[in-house]
Amino acid sequence: MSWESVYEGAAAAPERLALLPDAVARRELDDEVLSGRSAVPHEKLDRSSRAFEGDGDRWRARPVRELFDAAMRRFVEAHPGTSDAWLAPRLHATLRLTRREAGDSELWNHLALRVAPDYVLWRWLGSENENGGGGEARVNPRRFTGPFHVQAMARLWWAAEIYRDGRNYATAEAACTNQEMFNSALRQDVFLHRPTAQTVIRMLRDGTVTSTRAANALIKAVNTAGSTIQYELVAPDEPLDTKARRLWIEDLTYAPPVPHDSLPDGPDDGEVDFSSVARLLPLFQELFTTAPIRGKEDPVENPYA
């Protein structure tokens, strides 16, 4: 029995987003669920979930569910990992959150187990055999409930948040084509410095860095050097405009659904100063030329692992 036959898709999704405690989420992730042989227990999860108060339109589940459905249709003939770059900016623009709200794992638990568990299986069950090799394929439970840089939906939202340049999601889209920008960079505090993130993304976009292994080498070098070089002093960054972010969130009530064939607009809370990127670029290029690239002579790699 495949996971497609045990999930009802959008028909089973709740009307509202909610908060699902970590302990409850972990308890329901047995081998039957992680391998896609059985569905998560909807009624039990609903009884354990807490509703959001106020902000009615913000917590509707349908727009988010429809976005995951669109991704699964759009990339049905491709490797599911190729959907990340398309989905990340659109999820961010659909699910308009503050960083504090996005730091609550209980929201992501609910999205993964209750709103779109079939998406988690579609994205990860065929991408990696996460049970240590051999045997039946199963999804790592941390894809359902885990750290923000691993959890299936949180990783997309946070990648768009950290890698966008103000309202422009093109840089986030470019970053999300390379899985090391999820696997390595997203967990590093140094990438919260926006000029650092934008400089690395520029090197991805201009073809300086072309593979996941090369990206991994650059990220490690930038992070290591950041322990001795204070990038903020070399390349200052202005604080994000919190008022603009708040207005963007409030505008959700009047905003149309995100476009599927063009990028949406993010919060107009400030772009990175080009001069800061220009100062960091030669430094990062020098770091990259001396960074050891694992398996450089071996061209075989899985770009979506």
The answer on pLDDT for 144 being more than 50 is yes
Read off the pLDDT of residues 155-170 as tens digits, 9 standing for 90 and up: 999 999 999 999 999 9
More confident residue, 292 or 48: 48
Q: pLDDT tens for residues 80-132?
A: 999 999 999 999 999 999 999 999 999 999 999 999 999 999 999 976 545 45
Secondary structure in 3-state letters for the chain: CCHHHHCCHHHHCCCECEECCHHHHHHCCCHHHHCCCCCCCHHHHHHHCEECCCCHHHHECHHHHHHHHHHHHHCCCCCHHHHHHHHHHHHHHHCCCCHHHHCCHHHHHHHHHHHCHHHHHHHHCCCCCCCCCCCCCCCCHHHCCCCCCCCCCHHHHHHHHHHCECCECHHHHHHCCCCHHHHCHHHCHHHHCHHHHHHHHHHHHCCCCCCHHHHHHHHHHHHHHCCCCCHHHHCCCCCCCHHHHHHHHHHHHHCCCCCCCCCCCCCCCCCCCHHHHHHHHHHHHHHHHHCCCCCCCCCCCCCCC
pTM comes to 0.93
